[in-house]
Structure 1
Amino acid sequence: MSTILHLETSEKLCSVAVANNGKMLAYDMASASNDHARQITLVIERVLQQAELHLDQFSAIAISSGPGSYTGLRVAASASKGICYALDIPLIAINTLISLAHAAEQQTSEEAVYVPMMDARRMEVYTAVYDAQLKPVIVPHARIMDENSLQELVGGFDVPIIICGSGSHKCKHLFNSDNMLYREDLINNAKNLIRPAYQAYCNDVFEDAAYFKPFYLKAPNITTPKPILK
């Protein structure tokens, strides 16, 4: 028996889901974007009310480990560590891209290759390639999309290629073929964490909360303010 609280904060809107033995009981999303630090507690409270549960009834906390928003990932890591310490329950960390691939695979009826893409700055995306069994063919990395990028990623496959996530629009106008399906509607949310988190829980794949750090993939984009002209 497992009851898991899932926190997804890798992009603009944070979301929270509760699942029991891999079956979703409740879900909610923040009402404001890029406000993770304030919204995450409010969304957790609403989801607990929906599920009619208290925090001390959970078996584990699952979070998206990255890549994604530097600030968002830190918020989820901090919140989950606090809960795990207080309740003495394990922390589960799921790569954001593999959770997207799981979501796409659950909605695909035939064997396919999965290419999740998260929007980064300008024409850059965070991406990876997973086979039909969701094994990594190309590991998560940052890539600038141009006319050759998608061909380099999936040019050798003769099965359907599912391209999903908030960054998929960046290559849709650059490259298309009959075996490519763009799923721009499939974006990161806490629901995507449920299946991989349950698999991790059943296999005792946990993080050491004391030492866990999100998978940022790239350094944060911090700029120095310009001096005020007098």
Structure 2
Amino acid sequence: MTLILSIDTAVSVCSVSLHRKGQLLGLLELHQENVHAQKLMPVIKTLLDQAGLESKQLDAVAVSEGPGSYTGLRIGVSTAKGFAFAHDIPLISVGTLDALAIQVKPFLEGKVFIIPMIDARRMEVYCKVFDSRMNEMESIRPLIVDEGSFEEYLEKGIVYFVGDAVKKVSEVLQHPNARYLYLINSATSVGEIAFNKFEKREFSDLAYFEPNYLKEFKVVKSKKNPLML
């Protein structure tokens, strides 16, 4: 009875779930900014307690691998690695945009495309493109969205845009075939993908795995005080 703990801290939501054989047992989420470091471990403990389970019963731990918030990804991955190492269980990494995309499955009908996207400040997003069968049409990339973005897909059929960047994108990109779904990253879909990976034994190397930041992290100096970061 495969029991998987899944963690998603790629964006502002702190999300943790438990799945048994791919079926959701429980989910706890905090929709608050900057609470991952303080709240992630207590949320995991609470979820396990509510399910009447102990961490030693886990068969694997899954984590959203990015892209996303640098700090959020570091916290999530470090915590997942800690569980995997402590209990000698596999670590399963799941693409943040892949987990977003599968949330659209209930809406799929006919020829459609799915474009999950995460806000990367200003008019830039991190995005990926899938067809209706979840085949990857375009790999992850950062993109500055304008009126002509994704035109090749919008002219072919319905395009579902999903993620925390859809509000700002919808103000610029207007097309009759565009559908905007403000769905937030969740450990629920991370766990769904993780179970399929577990069955295929698609595990990440515990020693060498690092989050996919997509961009190099840069520390910006304070403009008010040049001596401060």
Check conservation: 1:150, 1:171, Cα contact below 8 A: no
Distance 1:191 1:181 in 2: 22
Name the counterpart of 2:112: 112
> Could you state the TM-score of these two structures normalised by the residue count of structure 2?
0.93
Distance 2:143 2:226 in 1: 33
Q: Does 1:65 align with 2:62?
A: no
Instruction: Kindly indicate whether the alpha-carbon contact (under 8 Å) linking 2:154 and 2:175 is maintained by their aligned counterparts in 1.
Output: no
Aligned mate of 1:215, from 207, 212, 216: 212
Query: 1:149 Cα shift?
Result: 2.0
Determine if contact 2:12/2:31 at 8 Å carries over to the other structure: no
When the two chains are superposed, the root-mean-square deviation of aligned CA atoms in Å is: 1.5
2:121 aligned residue: 121
Structure 2, unpaired ranges of 5+: none
* Count of paired positions: 225
Q: In the alignment, what sits opposite 2:188?
A: 191
- 2:92 is paired with a residue of what secondary structure? strand
Q: 1:43 is paired with a residue of what secondary structure?
A: helix
Distance 1:128 1:21 in 2: 28
In 2, Cα distance between the equivalents of 1:198 and 1:107? 22
Q: CA deviation at 1:39?
A: 1.0
Q: Distance in 2 between matches of 1:59 and 1:6?
A: 11
Are 1:227 and 2:210 an aligned pair? Answer: no
Q: 1:26 to 1:107 in 2, by over 3 A?
A: farther
Instruction: Name the counterpart of 1:202.
Output: 199
The alignment partner of 1:133 has SS state of: coil
* Unaligned stretches of 5+ residues in structure 1: none
Deviation at 1:187, TM superposition (A): 1.2
* Cα distance between partner residues in 2 of 1:42 and 1:107: 34
Distance 2:194 2:209 in 1: 16
Conserved 8 A contact 1:30-1:40: no
What is the match of residue 135 of structure 2? Answer: 135
Deviations 1:115-142 (A, max 9, x none): 0011111111110101112111010111
SS of 2:19 mapped into structure 1: strand
Q: d(CA) in 1 for partners of 2:113 and 2:49?
A: 38
